[in-house]
Structure 1
Amino acid sequence: MALSLRLLRYFVAAAELGSTTAAASQLNVSQPSISVAIRELEALFDDPLFSRGAGTRMTLTQFGERKLAEARRLLASASAFATDDVGEEEGGEVRIGVFRTIAPVYLPGALALAQARHPRLSVRFVEGDLPQLETWLQKRQIDFALMYDVGLPDDIERECLAELRPYGLVPAGSHLAKRRRAVSLRDLAAEPFILIDLPQSRDFLMTPFWQCGLSPNVRYRAASIELVRGMVASGLGVSLLITQSPAATQSPLVVECPIQESTVIQPLVIARPARAARMRASEWMSACVRDAVADAMRARAERKNGTARRRTDCGQAPE
Structure 2
Amino acid sequence: MRVSLRLLRYFVATAESGSTTAAARLLNVSQPSISVAIRELETLFEEALFARDAGAKMTLTRFGVRKLAEARHVLGAATAFEIDKSGDATAGEVQIGIFRPLAPVYLPVLLRIARERYPRLSVRFVEGDLAQLEDWLHGGQIELALTYDVGLPNEIEREVLAELRPYGLVPAGSRLARRKGGISLHELAREPLILIDLPHSREFLMAPFWQYGLQPEVRYRATSLELARSMVANGLGVALLITQAPASSQSVSVTEKPILEETVRQPLVIARASATRTRASELLGGCMREAVEEAMAARASSLPRKRANRRAT
Q: Which TM-score band (shorter chain)? A: 0.7 to 0.9
What is the alpha-carbon distance in structure 2 between the residues aligned to residue 123 and residue 220 of structure 1? 36
Determine which structure has the larger helix proportion and give its number.
2
TM-score using structure 1 length:
0.82
Shift in alpha-carbon separation, 1:11–1:92, aligned structure 2, 3 A: same
Q: Secondary structure at the match of 1:152?
A: coil
Shift in alpha-carbon separation, 1:131–1:18, aligned structure 2, 3 A: closer
Contact 2:80 2:87 in 1 (8 A): no
What is the alpha-carbon distance in structure 2 between the residues aligned to residue 59 and residue 178 of structure 1? 49
Q: Secondary structure at the match of 1:79?
A: helix
Considering only aligned residues, what root-mean-square deviation do their CA atoms show, in Å? 3.3
Contact 1:197 1:223 in 2 (8 A): yes
After TM superposition, list the pairs within 5 Å mapping 1:178-197 onto structure 2.
178-197=178-197
Q: Secondary structure at the match of 1:111?
A: helix
For 2:37, the equivalent position in structure 1 comes to: 34
What is the alpha-carbon distance in structure 2 between the residues aligned to residue 174 and residue 58 of structure 1? 47
Contact 2:14 2:20 in 1 (8 A): yes
For 1:302, the equivalent position in structure 2 comes to: 301
After TM superposition, list the pairs within 5 Å mapping 1:227-242 onto structure 2.
227-242=227-242
After TM superposition, list the pairs within 5 Å mapping 1:209-224 onto structure 2.
209-224=209-224
After TM superposition, list the pairs within 5 Å mapping 1:264-279 onto structure 2.
264-279=264-279
Q: Which amino acid aligns with 2:198?
A: L
Residues 207-216 or 270-279, more deviating? 270-279
Residues 297-306 or 99-108, more deviating? 297-306
Contact 1:76 1:279 in 2 (8 A): no
What is the alpha-carbon distance in structure 1 between the residues aligned to residue 306 and residue 287 of structure 2? 29
Once the two structures are superposed, residues 65-99 of structure 1 have per-residue CA deviations (whole angstroms, 9 ceiling, x without a partner) of 31221121122123234444468695332222111
What is the alpha-carbon distance in structure 2 between the residues aligned to residue 171 and residue 58 of structure 1? 41
Q: CA deviation at 1:116?
A: 1.8
Q: Which amino acid aligns with 2:153?
A: P
For 1:317, the equivalent position in structure 2 comes to: none
Structure 2 unmatched ranges of 5 or more:
none
After TM superposition, list the pairs within 5 Å mapping 1:40-189 onto structure 2.
41-42=44-45, 47-50=46-49, 60-85=60-85, 91-189=91-189
Structure 1 unmatched ranges of 5 or more:
315-319
* Percent identical: 58
Q: CA deviation at 1:300?
A: 2.9
Q: CA deviation at 1:18?
A: 6.5
What is the alpha-carbon distance in structure 2 between the residues aligned to residue 157 and residue 72 of structure 1? 20
Contact 1:98 1:147 in 2 (8 A): yes
TM-score using structure 2 length:
0.83
Q: How many residues align?
A: 306
Contact 1:10 1:23 in 2 (8 A): yes
Contact 2:247 2:302 in 1 (8 A): no
